[in-house]
Amino acid sequence: METTETVHDRIGTARNDHTTAQLALVFALVATLAFTLLFVQEPLVHDSLHNFRHAVGVTCH
Amino acid sequence: MLVDYLERGVLAGAIAGIAYGLYVMLVANPLVGYMEALAEGAGGAESGHEHAHAAEHAHTAGEHAHAAGEHAHAVGETTTAVVSIGSGVFWGILLGTAFALAFYFLEPALPGRGSVKGYVLAGAGFLAVSGAPWLVLPPTTPGAEQAYTPTIRIAIYGGLMLAGALIAATAIYGYRRGSTRSRPLGLCLAALPIVALAAVTTLTAPTIVESGAIPGELVTAFRGLTALSQAALWVLVAGCFDRLQTRARAHSSTERRVDLTTSSRS
C-alpha cells in the first residue's frame, strides 16, 4: 500500500525498474532544459529569451 | 512507475505551459515592451547609465553602432516575442517534469491526503524556484540597474534556490512533527522557517536591484504580476498532474475489475 511506502522504497523501485543510464538521462534532460532557458549567455539565444526571463522574474543581464 | 509519473508530469507541464505561453503573449510581452520604451525614454532624458547599459548590450551582442539611447538587441522584436512565448511553454514542461520527478520520490514523505500532497510540493517548488530567490533578487523590471556581475547573481540565485528547498523541507518536517499533536501547532511550525527566511533576508540582504526610471507603482504591479503568474503556473501543474493521476488510477482499477470478471467467468 502507498501509505506504508517510504522515500527509500521509491528510490529502490526506480533503481530496480531502470538502469543508471536511464535515470541519469532523465536528470540530464531536466538540467539541460533549465540551463538553456535560464543561463545560456550566447547572445542570440539570450536576447530572444529576454521577455521570457523578465516574465519569469529571473533576468540576469 | 517512474515513467508513468514523468509522462503525466510532461503532459501536465505542457498544459500549464500553454496557459503560461498565452500569458507571456497577451500580458508579459506587451508589458515588457512598454516598460522598456518607458525606461529608454526616461534614460534618454537623463542620458545617464541607461545609455551605457544599451552600449554594453550592443557590445555583447556583437552589434555595432546603435541609435542614441536606443536599447539595442541582437534579434528582432518579433523573434523575441515568438521565442518568449515558446519558452513559456517549455518552462511549463520543465516545471512539470521536475515536479513529477520530485513527486515520484517524495510522495511518501509529503504531508496531506490525496491531492493535497501535490499542492504541498508545488508550494515547495514555488518557494525554491522563485519565492526564496526573489527575497534578495526581486523580479527585475526592464531598465533596472543591478549590482554585481551576472555570474555572481546567478550564484546568489542558485544559493537561494537551495536555501528555499531546505526551508521548504524544514517546514514540511516541522508540520509532520507538530501535527502529530495538533494541526494548528503543525501549521505554526511549518510557517516558522518561512517567516524566519523572509525576516532575515529583508533585514540583512543588500539591495541588488535598482528599478531606475520606472515609476514605483508600475514596478510593484509588475512584480505582483510575475509572482502571481508563477504561483498560478505551479498550481496549474499540480492540478493537472493530480487530474491525470486520478484518471489513470480510475482507468487502471476498472481495467483490473474487467480482468477479474472475465477471468472468473472463463
Residue B173 contacts A, CB cutoff 8 Å: no
Phi, psi of B146 (to 5 degrees): -125, 145
Cβ of B94 within 8 Å of Cβ of A30? The answer is yes
When CB atoms are compared, the residue of A10, A26, A49 closest to B84 is A49
Q: What is the span of the domain harbouring residue A31?
A: 2-56
3 state DSSP class of B110: coil
C-alpha distance from A26 to closest chain B C-alpha (Å)? 9
- DSSP letter at B139? P
When CB atoms are compared, the residue of A5, A50, A60 closest to B108 is A5
Q: CA angle, B151 as apex, B150 and B154 as ends, to 5°? A: 80
Residue A61 contacts B, CB cutoff 8 Å: yes
Cβ of B133 within 8 Å of Cβ of A58? The answer is yes
Interfacial B residues in 218-237 facing A (CB < 8 Å): 223, 226-227, 229-230
In a domain, A20, yes or no: yes
Cβ of A55 within 8 Å of Cβ of B23? The answer is yes
CA–CA separation, A54 vs B34, rounded Å? 13
Strand pairing partners for B145?
B210
Strand pairing partners for B210?
B145
* A52 closest CA partner among B132, B80, B237, B125: B80
- pLDDT of amino acid B213: 76
* Cβ neighbour number for residue A26 with a 10 Å cutoff: 17
| Structural domain spans, chain B | 2-265
CA–CA separation, B98 vs B9, rounded Å? 8
pLDDT lower than 70: segments of chain A: 1-4, 41, 59-61
- pLDDT of amino acid B74: 64
In a domain, A9, yes or no: yes
- pLDDT of amino acid B11: 94
- pLDDT of amino acid B13: 93
Cβ of B223 within 8 Å of Cβ of A44? The answer is no
- pLDDT of amino acid B102: 92
In chain A, the number of structural domains is 1
pLDDT tens by residue, chain B, 266 residues: 888 899 999 999 999 999 999 998 888 888 888 888 888 776 555 444 444 444 444 444 443 333 333 445 667 778 877 888 888 888 999 999 999 999 999 988 888 888 899 999 999 999 998 899 888 888 888 777 777 787 888 888 889 999 999 999 999 999 988 888 888 898 999 999 999 999 998 888 777 777 777 788 888 898 899 999 999 999 999 999 999 999 988 888 888 777 777 766 65
Burial class (CB in 10 A: 0-12, 13-18, 19+), A58: buried
* Cβ neighbour number for residue B263 with a 10 Å cutoff: 8
**Do the beta carbons of residue B170 and residue B230 sit within 8 Å?**
no
In a domain, A61, yes or no: no
CA–CA separation, B195 vs B214, rounded Å? 30
- pLDDT of amino acid A34: 81
ipTM: 0.83
- pLDDT of amino acid B266: 55
Q: Which three cell numbers stand for residue B4?
A: 508513468
Cβ of A30 within 8 Å of Cβ of B97? The answer is yes
- pLDDT of amino acid A59: 64
Residue A31 contacts B, CB cutoff 8 Å: no
